[in-house]
């Protein structure tokens, strides 16, 4: 892989399908979608916001499995359930709709990919 401060070249094996859709032309649209979708969470203090977004990402990534998410986040079941209730409230969803969860996870992954590429 070619590496220089201004290079945007990556090995094909390092490119995810989602990263193909994220570029300078649509990043503002992605940011606006995130701002709208996560407005309630973004209004919280930074530590709480980060905890909830991490919890949401891990929970969705683990296919809504409580035990797996608890262990990965290293928190108690009651702590996880408390965070999930807050997420449901701030996102105005019950986190049971597969299509909605997929869209939320895609948005979180897009933000993650953008953050990684914009910090390099």
Identify whether the C-beta of residue 107 lies closer than 8 Å to the C-beta of residue 117.
no
User: What pLDDT shows up at residue 110?
Assistant: 79
Residues 6+ positions from 55 with CB-CB distance below 8 Å:
69, 73, 80, 83, 84, 87
Identify whether the C-beta of residue 22 lies closer than 8 Å to the C-beta of residue 103.
no
Please list the pLDDT of the chain residue by residue as tens digits (120 residues): 334 444 455 554 554 555 556 555 577 777 788 888 999 999 999 999 999 999 999 999 999 999 999 999 999 999 999 999 999 999 999 999 999 999 899 889 877 766 666 665
Tally Cβ neighbours within 10 Å of residue 62.
16
Domains of the chain, by residue range, sit at 24-118
Classified by CATH at the fold level, domain 24-118 comes out as Arc Repressor Mutant, subunit A (1.10.10)
């Amino acid at each position: 892989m070619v590496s220089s401060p201004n290079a945007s070249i990556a090995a094909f094996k390092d490119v995810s399908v989602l990263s193909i859709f994220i570029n300078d032309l649509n990043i503002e649209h992605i940011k606006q979608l995130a701002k709208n979708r996560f407005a309630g969470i973004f209004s919280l203090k930074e530590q709480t916001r980060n905890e909830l977004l991490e919890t949401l990402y891990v929970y969705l990534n683990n296919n809504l499995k409580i035990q797996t998410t608890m262990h990965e986040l290293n928190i108690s079941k009651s702590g996880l359930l408390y965070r999930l209730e807050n997420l449901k409230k701030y996102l105005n969803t019950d986190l049971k709709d597969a299509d909605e969860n997929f869209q939320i996870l895609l948005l979180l992954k897009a933000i993650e990919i953008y953050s990684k590429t914009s910090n390099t």
